[in-house]
Chains A and B, each alone.
Chain A
Amino acid sequence: MIDLIEARKNQVYVNRKDSFNIECDKKSVAGSVSQRACVFCGSRVVLYPIADALHLIHGPIGCAAYTWDIRGALSSGPELHRMSFCTDLRENDVIYGGEKKLYNALISLIEKYNPKAAFIYSTCIVGLIGDDINAVCRKVSAEKNIPVIPVHSEGFKGTKKDGYRAACEALFTLTGFDNESEVPKHSINILGDFNLAGESWIIKNYYKEMGIDVVSCLTGDGRIDEIKKAHRASLNVVQCSGSMTFLAKLMKEKYGIPFIRVSYFGIEDLSEALYEVARFFKEKELIDKAAELVGRELSVIYPEITKFKSRLEGKKAAIYVGGSFKAFSLVKALRHLGMKTEVVGSQTGSKDDYDYLKEICDEGTIIVDDTNPLELSHFIEERGVDLLIGGVKERPIAYKLGIAFCDHNHERKIPLAGFEGMVNFCREVYSSVLSPVWKYSPAYRKRKGGTV
């Protein structure tokens, strides 16, 4: 193994060979080329898909510029979320405070756009200069008669996970308002799906077919009015558990809504998700419908997957994603393609997550928390990996190494959730791994026994 920085030694684990327990939930070591982001980023990605809300960033321009329309969270209606609003704090504001600027910005934006609610994101600098954004929000809310919600997402206050938490707290304040509109008997909320490339729509259709209504999707294709009645659903179905379990817990405490954790990615996890939701309502009809749906879809996608598998069998993969739930599903999905996961890691996995990962991975798989490019590229070369699955910062590393890549993050352009998503995933892996361009890669030629 390469020289790991001393403080990182316990965050890298070779499955069933190392004896220690992997360390996680740590701040990145100062000075590492971490792939992680901050609290603000966590809050921003969770709340961003709510399309009829105003999202105002109270801070310097960078925080707004880097989060302007970067995530393909689709909306079926309004697209206010794709605009970038920022108080653009300048030196004077840092000295004299930015409350007045925030107030004026909010008033003029609400008058102009009539949003259903407004989220005000607090950034590092606001945490330092001590603007009382709660007070400003309360004032504007009273004047304009819409929810104006402060999101306490100062970047330095922890990791991206703490940002999820701040977002959950903000969302929670929106629940419990609408007790009048009708909510059907078999109803759920989808938590933790962000409608990237339209994935929420696929999942919603499954539930619809099963006879289950989705009261609110948090936050994919999200609407404020739906969130206001979310507390009246019978069950919270949590995907991407890292981001939304906290909200599910809050809602359980206050409204008594039970929750389950699922993944809509990969055949087993997706089928199990649908069955589990059906079982919850304890009605045979729902379970039968789920079985029918799963059976039908599988009969469609299996032959396709088998075709891909015949060409991918024996190839090796590395996975480095944000949330660990995604990693679980990916390990399983790759197995369907006959591919072996050599390296797997996440930015935000917890102890339990890594224990589970150890269970489902083969012996010898390298499991890593909060890795960096040097480590990652080293493991990829060492294990002769053919495919890297990751996000924006991992993509060019894979390509420089001359191996295939699949984006499983914000920048995915095709839905990877659901049964059709599984086929899309297989096709993407297939077309990347078998692309003719790799024959120009020295790594490829070496693997094929040629000279570099």
Chain B
Amino acid sequence: MLLRHTTDKVAERSALTINPAKTCQPVGAMYAALGINKCLPHSHGSQGCCAYHRSSLTRHFKDPIMATTSSFTEGASVFGGQANILEAITNIFALYDPEIIAVHTTCLSETIGDDLNQIIKKAYQEGKIPKGKKVFYASTPSFKGSHVTGYSNMTTGMVQYFSENTGKPLKQINLIPSFIEPSDMAEIKRITTEMGVKFVMFPDTSGVVNGPMDGKFHMYPKGGTTIEQIKSAGDSSFTLALGRVGAMSAAKLLDTKCKVPCEILDLPIGVRGTDNFINNLRKVAGVHVPDSLMMERGQLVDVMSDMSQYTYNKTAALVGDPDILVSTAEFLVDLGIKILYVVSGTPAGPKFERRIKEIAGEGVIVKTGANADMFYFHQLIKGNKPDLIFGNTYAKYIARDEDIPLIRIGFPIYDRVGHQYMPVMGYKGGLRLLEKILTAIMDRQDRDAPEEKYELVM
């Protein structure tokens, strides 16, 4: 009864978030920056921000997360953080020798009004940035958006600073994923390679935050998109953005800046999501879908139909990040699962709400942004209990109090492993997600079955 304090009546709140269903922009920016090869994310703010983000990502990925901080002091907060970041840049290159520093701002530096564009220019002019090395930044104040928009801002920054249309078109397409797991990024790359399509994907955290244990501490693990690749994205023939909230902005900028046309897709979760991704890939790259992928699709559909009696007419409540919610909802609907509630702390706007209603029907309750928190989500659940909850680790309190199985998906997941290495995207990932769902449903059925109905074969 950890959340005994949650009342079942939904009360209007104006000034308050209770048990957030989001976190702040900088952590998303840090995560995106880790998706660049040999990049060191830099937090331009107090020491605590950087420590918290690193702890948070470390808990989620169970891997070392490297990032530096401007270590703001009282003085910096009065006179601006220019001196801090110039000193930081010198120190970082001297000690840690990254190829690139990705600076993100915080509420502190944004409120002070540090002009990072100008400061970074100054650093270049004063020779503080060694030849061939790079520094760029994204604006990510914590009082706007959420970790997903922070991720999006940093990804957009990559385009803004590095992508270039050289006038020599390349036969490759760009893939920009939203804030998703490294395992899912790897799966998207695998599918694209399987299709025989040449591509650039950024950011790409696979191999960075889910590295192997080889007895060494690597400041810069092998993974990540290189600056050369991000630069070449400006010469690509097309961009597929996967996830509107997390990936659209970078794709749109590639269009306006480098004239690379784009399509904004949902994340490839489930049959429809993956079909849509593969179909677009096929069209823009002019390739055929190989038998190997058709086989994977067939297997997913096979298990969906084999087990449909267990999923049909179940109910679910979803909380988390908007792009993941949209595609998960679509998959659940295909399984015959009815969606009752969809809540996201990220201010995803009316388009998100429309999309969810399109997928799940007008009856679904959707709330995003201010007051769309775990407390509200819990109140909804108390009003009408679903069979399943989909959410991050923080949803476990609700799951326990209400005795409802929780399928962990999204960020953060602090209390289970697997998400770092095994995807939920693509047909194979769909199979994994489906397995999780079925196991949850069947475990519950076994637990609650009277002895005479306790079944061997299910």
Contact = CB atoms under 8 A, between A and B. Distances in A.
Interface of A: 3, 5, 7, 27-41, 59-68, 79-80, 82-91, 93-94, 100-105, 108-109, 112-113, 123-125, 127-129, 155-159, 373-374, 377, 392-393, 395-397, 399-402, 440-446, 452
Interface string B57-94: 01101111111111111101100000011011111101
B215 to A, nearest CB: 3
Contacts of B24: 60-63, 65
Interface stretch (B14-22, B161-169, B177-185): B14-22
B143 A125 contact: yes
A440 B7 CA distance: 51
Contacts of A30: 69-71, 84-85, 87-88, 91
B384 interface: no
A104 B52 CA distance: 28
B46 interface: yes
Given A30-B84, A68-B394, 6 more contacts: A37-B47, A38-B49, A40-B48, A61-B24, A124-B108, A399-B62
Nearest to A443: B215
B213 A392 contact: no
Contacts of B451: none
B312 interface: no
Ranked nearest first, the 6 interchain pairs of A and B with the lowest CB-CB distance are: A38-B48, A62-B24, A31-B88, A442-B215, A31-B91, A155-B46
23 contacts: A5-B91, A28-B69, A30-B70, A30-B84, A31-B70, A32-B68, A38-B51, A61-B142, A63-B52, A64-B17, A84-B17, A86-B18, A91-B141, A104-B15, A112-B5, A124-B45, A128-B77, A129-B111, A155-B46, A155-B49, A393-B64, A397-B64, A401-B217
Contacts of A373: 64, 66, 217, 219
B345 interface: yes
B19 A37 contact: no
A126 to B, nearest CB: 10
Contacts of B61: 396
Nearest to A41: B48
Nearest to B112: A128
A60 B96 CA distance: 31
B47 A83 contact: no
B20 A68 contact: yes
Interface in B32-55: 42, 45-55
Nearest to A378: B217
B111 A34 contact: no
Contacts of A32: 68-69, 71, 91, 95
A65 B25 CA distance: 12
A163 B51 CA distance: 15
Interface string B210-227: 010111111100000000
B48 A39 contact: yes
Interface of B: 2-5, 7, 13-20, 22-27, 42, 45-56, 58-59, 61-74, 76-77, 84-85, 87-92, 94-96, 106-108, 111-112, 141-144, 146, 211, 213-219, 345, 370, 394
Contact of A35 (B17, B25, B51, B62): B51
Contact of B47 (A28, A61, A91, A440): A28
B216 A400 contact: yes
Nearest to B66: A33
Contact of A399 (B3, B42, B213): B213
B48 A442 contact: no
B16 A159 contact: no
Contacts of B89: 31
B107 A124 contact: yes
Nearest to B142: A60
B23 A65 contact: yes
Given A60-B24, A90-B144, A90-B370, A34 B108 contact: no
Contacts of A83: 3, 5, 18-19
Contact of B217 (A27, A28, A377): A377
B20 A64 contact: yes
Contacts of B90: 31
A109 B91 CA distance: 45
B416 to A, nearest CB: 15
Nearest to B221: A400
A400 B47 contact: no
A111 B45 CA distance: 35
Contacts of B68: 31-34
A167 B295 CA distance: 61
Given A87-B15, A156-B46, A373-B66, A94 B108 contact: no
Contacts of A400: 63-64, 211, 213-218
Contacts of B58: 392-393, 395-396
A59 B394 CA distance: 20
Contacts of B13: 108
A60 B47 contact: no
Given A89-B143, A393-B58, A401-B216, A34 B50 contact: yes
Counting chain A CB atoms within 10 Å of each CB, which of B87, B112, B213 scores highest?
Answer: B213
A442 B215 CA distance: 5
Contacts of B91: 5, 7, 29-32
Nearest to B209: A396
Contacts of B88: 30-31
B27 A62 contact: yes
Nearest to B63: A396
Contacts of B146: 61
B66 A440 contact: no
Contacts of B51: 34-38, 41, 393
A102 B17 CA distance: 11
A440 B215 CA distance: 9
A27 B71 contact: yes
Given A31-B90, A83-B5, A156 B73 contact: yes
B88 to A, nearest CB: 3
Contacts of B26: 62
A374 B111 contact: no
Nearest to B108: A124
Given A5-B94, A64-B20, A156-B77, A128 B47 contact: no
Contacts of B215: 400-402, 441-446, 452
Contacts of B20: 61, 64-65, 68, 84, 86, 88
A108 B46 contact: no
B141 to A, nearest CB: 8
A27 B107 contact: no
A307 to B, nearest CB: 29
Counting chain A CB atoms within 10 Å of each CB, which of B90, B146, B214 scores highest?
Answer: B214
Contacts of B144: 90-91
A363 B259 CA distance: 65
A84 B5 CA distance: 12
A91 to B, nearest CB: 5
A352 B389 CA distance: 53
A242 B76 CA distance: 26
Contacts of B211: 400
Contacts of B59: 392
Contacts of A157: 74
